Amino acid sequence: MSDDKSIRVKVIEVTRWAPTLLSFKVTRPDGFKFTAGQFVRLGIHGKDLQYFAQNHETKLITSETQGHEAQDYEEQGYETQGQPIDLDGYVFRAYSVASSPYDEFIEFFSVVIPQGEFTSKVNHIQVGDSLLLNTTPFGYLTLARYQLPLPNDLWLLATGTGLAPFLSILKTIDVWQQYQRIILVYSARTSQELAYQAEIGSIKSIYGDNGAAFVFLPIVTREADYAGEKARIPNLIVSGKLTELVGQKLDKERSHVMLCGNPQMVEDTKEALKSIGLTMNRRGEGNIAVENYW
Ligand SMILES: Cc1cc2nc3c(=O)[nH]c(=O)nc-3n(C[C@H](O)[C@H](O)[C@H](O)COP(=O)(O)OP(=O)(O)OC[C@H]3O[C@@H](n4cnc5c(N)ncnc54)[C@H](O)[C@@H]3O)c2cc1C
C-alpha cells in the first residue's frame, strides 16, 4: 500500500504540558499549504521512533514485524519526500494544525490515550524522529465558510486539544482585522492541562496589534481548588454567566461561534447556543460552525 500524498516529516521540537498532553513541531513539506483551522492526516510507525529502537522490551514487540530501526530511516533519509511511501503498518489519524499558515514548521497539539493506537506511540516521540504527513488539508472550520458582511464578534470555544485550530486561526492577521472582538474560551480538566497560556497571552500583540479586542477565558472542569472559573461551557451559556465573565453578549446578531473538541461538549454547546437563538452555519449563513474530534 502506498500513496503519493504522504511525505516524511522530521520532528524538530517537542513540548510536554502534562502527562497526557504534548505538542510537537515538524518540518514543513515544500509547497504544503493549508488554511488556518484545517486538519491533516498524520501517520506513525514505531520503526520511525528512536524510543522503539532503543527500548529493548518494546523493540522485541515491534521489531520482528516492523523490520527497521529508526537509524535505518535516518540513512534512507527524508529524501523520500515526493516519492510514494510504503504505508504498511502506519497508523493514520486526523490532526488539526496548530501553527500559523505563515510558519516554516507545522505544529500539532496532541492528547495521549494510553491504549490509543496512534497516541501511545506519539507519547514517545523525540526530536529527530519522523512521521508521515498527508499533504491534503481537510475541513471547514475556517473563516472562509462565513459569508460577508461579518458580524462584530468571533467566539472560539474549545475543549482540550480542540484548541489547536483556534491557535492557527489566531495566528493569522486577517482574523484580527475582520472582527471587532475575539473571545477565546478554553476548557480543560485541570489547570496543568490548560496549555499554551503564555502564547495565548502574547498572541494579540504579535498578530493582532491594532486589530480586534481580545478576551481570553480559561476554564477548568475537574480541579476543586482552582481559583478561576470552574464550569462547563454549555452551562455558562444557558445561565448567562458567560456574558458576565466576558463582558460581552453572545447573540445571534453580532456573533460567529466556532466549537471544537469533545463531541459531547460540542453537542451540548450547540444545543445551549440554539436555546438562546443562534443557528447552525450552512452555506455561509448562520452563527455556529463545529468540529468533533471523535
Ligand atoms: C477532524 C479531527 C481533528 C483532530 N485533531 C486532533 C488534534 O489536533 N489533536 C488530537 O490530540 N487529536 C485530534 N483528533 C483526534 C485524533 O484523530 C485521534 O483520535 C487521537 O489522536 C487519538 O488517537 P488514538 O489512535 O491514540 O486513539 P483513538 O482510537 O483514535 O481514540 C480512542 C478514544 O480516545 C478519545 N480521544 C480521541 N481523541 C481525543 C482527544 N483529542 N482528546 C481527548 N480524548 C480523545 C476518544 O474517547 C476516543 O474514542 C482529531 C480528530 C478529528 C476527527
Residue 15's pLDDT is 98
Q: What sections of 208-283 are H helices per DSSP?
A: 233-239, 241-246, 263-275
Separation CA 206–CA 198 (nearest Å): 12
Separation CA 104–CA 25 (nearest Å): 10
Give the model confidence (pLDDT) of 51-69 as tens digits. Answer: 997 764 544 444 333 434 3
Separation CA 184–CA 166 (nearest Å): 8
Residue 2's pLDDT is 66
In this structure, what C-alpha cell is assigned to residue 126? 523525540
Residue 75's pLDDT is 37
Q: What angle do CA 146, 142, 102 make, to 5 degrees?
A: 130
Distance 68 CA to ligand 1 centre (A): 27
Give the model confidence (pLDDT) of 88-100 as tens digits. Answer: 999 999 999 999 9
Exposure pattern of 257-293 as b/e (b: 16+ CB <10 Å)? bbbbbbeebbebbbebbeebebeebeeeebbbbbbeb
Instruction: Give the pLDDT mean for 30-48.
Output: 97
Residue 228's pLDDT is 83
ipTM summary value = 0.99
The H or E element that residue 7 is part of is strand 6-18
Instruction: Give the pLDDT mean for 23-47.
Output: 97
Pair 118, 91: CB distance under 8 Å: yes
Pair 154, 258: CB distance under 8 Å: yes
Give the model confidence (pLDDT) of 90-127 as tens digits. Answer: 999 999 999 999 999 999 999 999 999 999 999 999 99
Residue 76, SS3?
A: helix
In this structure, what C-alpha cell is assigned to residue 208? 493582532
Distance 83 CA to ligand 1 centre (A): 28
Determine whether 131 is exposed, middle or buried from the number of CB atoms within 10 Å of its CB (0-12, 13-18, 19+).
buried
Pair 91, 44: CB distance under 8 Å: yes
> Which one of 119, 120, 141 would you pick to mutate in the ligand 1 pocket, going by the greatest count of ligand atoms within 8 A of its CB?
119
**N residues, the chain:** 294
Residue 184 clears pLDDT 80, i.e. is over it: yes
Q: Report which residue type is found at 57.
A: E
Among 3-7, 167-171, 206-210, the minimum mean pLDDT is found in 3-7
Pair 189, 220: CB distance under 8 Å: yes
Q: Could you say which DSSP state residue 149 is in?
A: S
Share of the chain above pLDDT 70, in %: 89
Instruction: Give the pLDDT mean for 219-227.
Output: 88
Residue 72 clears pLDDT 70, i.e. is over it: no
Q: Report which residue type is found at 137.
A: P
Distance 293 CA to ligand 1 centre (A): 6
Residue 65's pLDDT is 36
Phi/psi at 149 (5° precision): -80, 150
Separation CA 248–CA 181 (nearest Å): 9
Nearest CA owner, ligand 1 atom 26: 116
Nearest CA owner, ligand 1 atom 50: 293
> Which one of 35, 44, 111, 124 would you pick to mutate in the ligand 1 pocket, going by the greatest count of ligand atoms within 8 A of its CB?
111
Q: What angle do CA 153, 155, 156 make, to 5 degrees?
A: 145
Mean pLDDT computed over every residue of the chain: 90
Looking at the DSSP bridge assignments, the partners of residue 258 are 156, 289
Instruction: Give the pLDDT mean for 240-250.
Output: 94
Q: Could you say which DSSP state residue 285 is in?
A: B
Distance 245 CA to ligand 1 centre (A): 30
Residue 70 clears pLDDT 50, i.e. is over it: no
The alpha carbon of 144 is separated from its chain's Cα centroid by a whole number of angstroms, namely 18
- Res. 85 pLDDT band, cuts 50 70 90: confident
Distance 294 CA to ligand 1 centre (A): 6
In the chain, helix, strand, coil percent, each to 5? 30, 30, 35
Q: Could you say which DSSP state residue 142 is in?
A: S
Residue 223's pLDDT is 87
